[in-house]
Amino acid sequence: MKIKTKQLQNNWKVFTLTNINGVTVEVLNFGGILTKILTPDKEGRVGNIVLGYKNMLDYQHDPNYFGALIGRVAGRIQNAEFVLDGKTYRLKANEGPNHLHGGNTGLHKVIWNADPFEEEDKLGLKLSYFSKDGENGYPGNVNITVTYTLTNEDELIINYSATTDKTTVLTLTNHTYFNLSGDLKETIHQHHVTMDSSRFAQLDARLLPTGDILDVTNSTFDFRSGRALASGIHSTMDQHNIVGNGYDHYFIFDQKKPYAVVATEPVSGRVLKMKTTQPGMVMYTSNNLGSNALLNEGMSKNYLGVCFETQSSPASLHHDGFPSILLNADERYQEQTVFKFGTLMN
């Protein structure tokens, strides 16, 4: 096991974590960004399974949120405002009239305090940030800690923790785009995903939840027995069309299985298993990624990665029936998401 640190300009640092099996996770203190994850395929060949920029400085103006920590609120807040204890809070609109992923200067744009650590069977990076009352329009001083831990069992554990001195709203996530083919050899069309979810949030043409939560049965949103992502990408169903042909929807977990998501890429044999304390996640299939970004392995294009954004739902600010994002002054925000890397052989 080892940790390497590289100093870049602008007080940016890159931390490289490598376990005893050669699994490597690269983290940038700017935005808490996961820039690379290297894992072996079924033949033992190591490849990068996430999307990242070839030029590190491109993260400074990244419209895609590659690998970044997202907050204070992940997702879209309708009309960039919400009411809390009778007071209306207005946030900066950064996607039409709406507020997306914490705003243009959200957690993906801050330099986090970074403290690497190494223990007997794991190593990692503890990131911390103090978000001041009123920052980006949100109430409350919030102390946030995010810890990335890489274990010798080939797990990447993300622990999120936060406290506030005033009732506020908070739901954090990581916005990594996974591509298990390795080094972007293929798109994600043939990624086979199984998901422990029987319900998802219906979206309107603005990509905002309508307030209706739909049953997945007999639809391309039913991943309970597994399906290829291509089935939704090629579907003519309205819910796929409005997001640019694919998925960009919030799924609510049934919490009946040990892993909320299992993704497999048939050619490489790589398997990604995910479990979480979060009540649901947004699955985004990079429908609108475009071809303008120079990545580590070449130019970007649509459907080159899939995001599993575990979180509660900002739709709860405007609709009943969604997992809440309220955080009171006497509470601690504590959530965990675990990504376990493997192959069809293990």
Which amino acids are annotated catalytic?
Answer: 175, 309
Q: What are the backbone angles phi and psi of residue 157, rounded to the nearest 5°?
A: -105, 125
Q: Residue 216: exposed, middle, or buried by beta-carbon count in 10 A (0-12, 13-18, 19+)?
A: middle
Output b/e per residue, 298-314; b: 16+ Cβ within 10 A: eebebbbbbbbbbbbbb
Contact 175, 66 (CB under 8 A): yes
Contact 74, 176 (CB under 8 A): no
- The secondary structure of 283-300 as a DSSP string is EE--TT--S--EETTEE-
Rounded distance between C-alpha atoms, residue 282 and residue 89, angstroms: 24
Of 143, 172, 144, 169, the residue nearest 85 (C-alpha): 169
Output b/e per residue, 81-113; b: 16+ Cβ within 10 A: bbebeeeebebebbeeebbbbbbeebbbbbbbe
Helices and strands in the chain, H and E counts: 2, 30
Structure tokens at 19: 């376990």
Q: What are the backbone angles phi and psi of residue 204, rounded to the nearest 5°?
A: -95, -175
Structure tokens at 212: 């209706």
End-to-end CA distance of the chain: 21
Tell me which amino acid residue 51 is: L
CA atoms within 13 A on the CB side of 296: 19
Rounded distance between C-alpha atoms, residue 344 and residue 346, angstroms: 6
